[in-house]
Structure 1
């Protein structure tokens, strides 16, 4: 006992109310983190689909403009394929190298069985095939001298379709 009254013992620890408030606050923080994580996961799937479609456009953009610039003749939806072994014809480009007299042909085809846009380059007996687009459900070409274009539609089950057009200019 002191002069002011009985001494109170101070108990170390937390009260039940303090513990309940803390648990409730932790629950709110975890709920917010879970919601943010869920949104991130959903958006990352959509972003992944858009990036895949964008990569298709980039792969086609790597090949079509130089092919078009080299070509002397271009034909949209040619009747027959001379070097491509698969798919339906979308575009054929031909040219002759004036310094070597070598003939070149590049054919772009849409293979419906694999949903791929394929570039096949032929020189004499040599053939080189490159996939320039995956998950492509439609592709068409237009030739309006000197402009050559391919429009492709990429599809994803979750994101829908993504259309893009890549253009090049023939040499004149």
Structure 2
């Protein structure tokens, strides 16, 4: 029995290449299982909700968070990755400033998407009036994602509006879908 225990301990040693790869596979399998559970739970809860916008957002965010936590835990267990992680963290801070400046509109849409989902000023199914470059349009809210809000106007055209525009505009809610 002790031979088997020693063999397993040797195989899972994070200092060896085989152990690091095996631990990575285990962490990936565990994270994927948790993500599958999150997706299944979100589907079950969504069946009982009339507005699933916030649920979809929370589910997607939780899935990304599970993989991120799994990677951080894996990097913490493997000694060679700890030193690399420190160097990457220093480099990532410089890169994040550059990317943040380059993607300020995208990040603005993301933050506005958080606000739209959390504050629920408008919801899927609402009829709204919104100022556009072509004038005021009346449209139904179809999708509220983190980057864009999709509206369908009276002529059945899709109007895709960046969320930072939605948050910066005066919106007139004409009608709210019942049950929301």
TM-score bin, normalised by smaller chain:
under 0.3
More helix by share: 2
TM-score for both structures, normalised by structure 2: 0.26
TM-score for both structures, normalised by structure 1: 0.27
Structure number with larger C-alpha Rg: 1
More strand by share: 1
